[in-house]
A = this chain, B = another copy of it.
Amino acid sequence: MPKLGMEPIRREALVRATIAEVGLQGSLDVTVSQIARRAGMSSALAHHYFGGKDQIFLAAMRQILRDYGTSTRKALARARTPRARVEAILEESFAAPNFHTEVIAAWLSFYVHAQTAPEAHRLLEVYRRRLHSNLTHALRPLTGRAAPGQARILGALIDGIYIRSALAQPAPDRGEALEQLMHVLQHLLAEGRT
């Protein structure tokens, strides 16, 4: 009794399973079988829906970045002042769903992967550009022409804290991470007023 409309469900399950498996193993060296098993189906079906391992990975990356993008957009919508907008972006980078051991590990793995896989590289480029643009827009009312440079620094710092969190034992400290970011932010904001 074949079911209809299974495709989106299956794809979603596979993508979630991929993130989980890659995150857990901390490496892209996961087999399609492992992913499929975790998603509750055969590896043949995984191929059927995605065509190949690379596509599965790509879909998983898209999911991670889309999740991040979505939550950021929501946070921005809630912010009322320019400064609140900046802080919202920074906070969201370390918000619970993203700043989770598994997701960080998966993110880092995909990051490495992007060195080789052009499509993956493109995805990260989009994410980076959006982050940069968001930050710049938020900072502009506060620091004017200094905004782009500051956005670049904050972006690098976010990535740096992320990558360090990937090795944190036993678990990365969300509060501490945010504190460091805010500390630097404060300095940068003071810039304009000097």
Decide if A183 is an interface residue (CB 8 Å cutoff). yes
Q: How many copies does the complex hold?
A: 4
Total contacting residues, chain A, CB less than 8 A: 39
Would you give the shortest CB distance from A135 to chain B, in whole angstroms?
14
Interface-facing stretch out of A49-57, A58-66, A108-116: A108-116
Would you give the shortest CB distance from A144 to chain B, in whole angstroms?
16
Pair A27/B111 contact, Cβ less than 8 Å: no
Complexed CA–CA distance, A124 and B183 (Å): 26
Complexed CA–CA distance, A167 and B122 (Å): 10
Complexed CA–CA distance, A156 and B108 (Å): 15
**Given A183-B149, A184-B153, A184-B184, also A112-B26 (CB < 8 A):** yes
Pair B167/A121 contact, Cβ less than 8 Å: yes
- A113 to chain B: which residues have CB within 8 Å? 27
Interface-facing stretch out of A10-18, A82-90, A157-165: A157-165
Pair B164/A156 contact, Cβ less than 8 Å: yes
Decide if A166 is an interface residue (CB 8 Å cutoff). yes
Pair B163/A159 contact, Cβ less than 8 Å: yes
Looking at the complex, which one of B29, B116, B153, B163 makes contact with A183 (CB distance below 8 Å)? B153
Would you give the shortest CB distance from A163 to chain B, in whole angstroms?
5
Looking at the complex, which one of B128, B158, B167, B184 makes contact with A111 (CB distance below 8 Å)? B167
Across the A-B interface, give the 3 residue pairs with the lowest CB-CB distance, nearest first: A160-B160, A26-B115, A187-B187
